């Protein structure tokens, strides 16, 4: 299984720096994904929230850190050592950063209440295998949050030609041929004994992005560009 191609692109420091435009874009788009996740986790876990969380492809911890700050125990996994080190230097209680890859999960099967695959599937050659690996670490009844990019011409124009061409994110971040359609994600989920519970789209805020030089998104019903899906693991 090939590892995410964007690893080297995001090896540079500055994940939490307000002066770094690349990571400012990542923080902005992840804020939208956190909105989805926080709304959906109430359905999955009630007021208590998840106890054990695994964030695969965590980067510098933009999702892992706020989840840990809510009281969860988070294992944040990424094969990019500089990103993992930067996340670990924050010293946030409850989150443990691990340098590892998607070929050999460092997490025991059945440990997690919640698994995140955020900005991961569009960077691998075999998304089905990645979903199966992530599902294996979920306990029965556990939930999976996935964010990825749809394989459409609109997504190619906006995410690659637009965002990368204008320098809002680094060139080489995406390969449009690896974008994942909702139907493909659903098939991978069914093969891993997951059923869909939630779905939401992401639409670009074009003028806001151009004015600020930072990628801006809004929650949307349209999945034509980026989208999030929530799944739950079937009970044995």
Q: Which residue is it, tokens 């670490």?
A: 137
pLDDT for position 182: 98
DSSP character for 71? T
pLDDT for position 118: 97
Query: pLDDT tens for residues 63-90?
Result: 999 999 999 999 999 999 999 999 999 9
pLDDT for position 50: 93
- Beta carbons within 8 Å of 216's beta carbon, 6+ residues apart: 28, 204, 205, 208, 209
The low-confidence residues of the chain, meaning pLDDT below 70, are 1-9
Domain ranges of the chain: 5-233
What does pTM read for this prediction? 0.93
List, in sequence order, every residue forming a beta bridge with 53; answer none if it has no partner: 74, 114
pLDDT for position 141: 97
Residue 77 half-sphere exposure toward CB, CA atoms < 13 A = 21
Structure tokens at 72: 């969860």
CATH of domain 5-233: 3.40.50.150
């Amino acid at each position: 299984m090939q590892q995410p191609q964007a690893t080297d692109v995001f090896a540079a420091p500055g994940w939490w720096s307000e002066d770094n435009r690349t990571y400012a874009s990542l923080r902005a788009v992840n804020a939208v994904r956190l909105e989805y996740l926080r709304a959906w986790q109430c359905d999955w876990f009630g007021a208590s929230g998840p106890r054990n969380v695994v964030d695969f492809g965590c980067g510098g911890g933009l999702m892992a850190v706020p989840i840990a700050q809510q009281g969860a125990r988070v294992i944040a996994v990424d094969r990019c050592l500089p990103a993992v080190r930067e996340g670990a230097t924050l010293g946030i209680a409850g989150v443990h950063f691990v340098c590892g890859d998607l070929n050999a999960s460092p997490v025991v099967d059945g440990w997690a209440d919640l698994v995140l695959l955020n900005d991961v599937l569009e960077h691998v050659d075999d998304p089905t295998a990645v979903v199966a690996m992530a599902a294996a670490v979920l306990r029965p009844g556990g939930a999976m949050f996935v964010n990825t990019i749809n394989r459409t011409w609109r997504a190619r124009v906006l995410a690659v030609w637009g965002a990368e061409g204008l320098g809002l994110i680094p060139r080489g971040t995406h390969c449009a041929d690896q974008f994942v359609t909702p139907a493909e994600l659903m098939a991978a989920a069914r093969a891993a004994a997951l059923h869909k519970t939630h779905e939401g789209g992401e639409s670009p805020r074009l003028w806001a992005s151009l004015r600020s030089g930072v990628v801006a998104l809004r929650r949307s019903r349209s999945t034509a560009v980026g989208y999030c899906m929530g799944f739950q693991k079937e009970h044995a």
